[in-house]
Amino acid sequence: METARTARVHVIWTCIALVVILIASCLTYVFLPKVPGCQRVNIRSASSLFDPTVTESMFRRQPSREHWLLKADHCSHESGHLKWEDEWAEHRNESILDHTHTWIVIRESGVYLVYIQVNFKLKTQINSSSPVELKLLVDFNYGEGTQMFAAAHDTQLVSANTVQDAKLYTFLLMNMKSANQLSVRAFPGELVNIDPRPFSTYITFLKWSDSW
């Protein structure tokens, strides 16, 4: 009974990830502002999917069914690094995470649709009415170096004597090679919501094609 329920959950989350990412990727630009001093990464705007030549080349070969759903189970208050847990670990023969569970290691080269969502629980600061600055950063390690991107940011004003939720998210269409790595940082780290059920801070990967 438990196995059947787990299988159903697996299928449901796969469908949700496919639908949400596919729809949003066609509507969202992913040329995002970068942190000053960083180089350019091989990330394309999702609007390029409307280019017939790009679409034809992407579907020339049948891609694998590589897909992942990782949920956050810890956030460093100092560095802001999120640590991940594979939601479907019991169905996998190997992990996509390194030994620290901070870096996500790509297994197959190809073009990936990536969706990242981070939830924050905002609390009123004692003797302070200053707005809370929220930030979501993505680090991309391609072997020769690491590039850092400002994926999303927001400013929230917390009402007195309240606890409220805030959400940052971003979509990326990334051409990555095997052994490339990604990590995610969120600030302020102490406000990140990592409640396991229902989890609200997570990242999904879906291999879109073998190449541009």
Give me the mean pLDDT over the 30-56 stretch: 42
Note the Cα 23 to chain centre separation in Å: 16
Note the Cα 49 to chain centre separation in Å: 20
Please report the pLDDT score of residue 171 as a whole number.
93
Helix (H) or strand (E) holding 169: strand 163-176
In whole angstroms, give the CA distance from residue 183 to residue 103: 5
Lowest model confidence (mean pLDDT) among 94-98, 102-106, 201-205: 94-98
Tens digits of residue pLDDT in 152-190: 999 988 877 777 889 999 999 999 999 999 999 999 999
Domains in the chain: ranges and CATH: 2-209 (2.60.120.40)
DSSP 101-159: SSSEEP-S-EEEEEEEEEEEEEEPPTT--PPEEEEEEEEEE-SS-EEEEEEEEEEE-PP
- Lookup: tokens for 2: 């438990």
pLDDT range class, residue 51, cuts 50, 70, 90: low
- Lookup: tokens for 151: 């994926």
Please report the pLDDT score of residue 96 as a whole number.
92
Q: Is 185 left (phi over 0), alpha (psi -120 to 50) or beta?
A: beta
In whole angstroms, give the CA distance from residue 140 to residue 148: 6
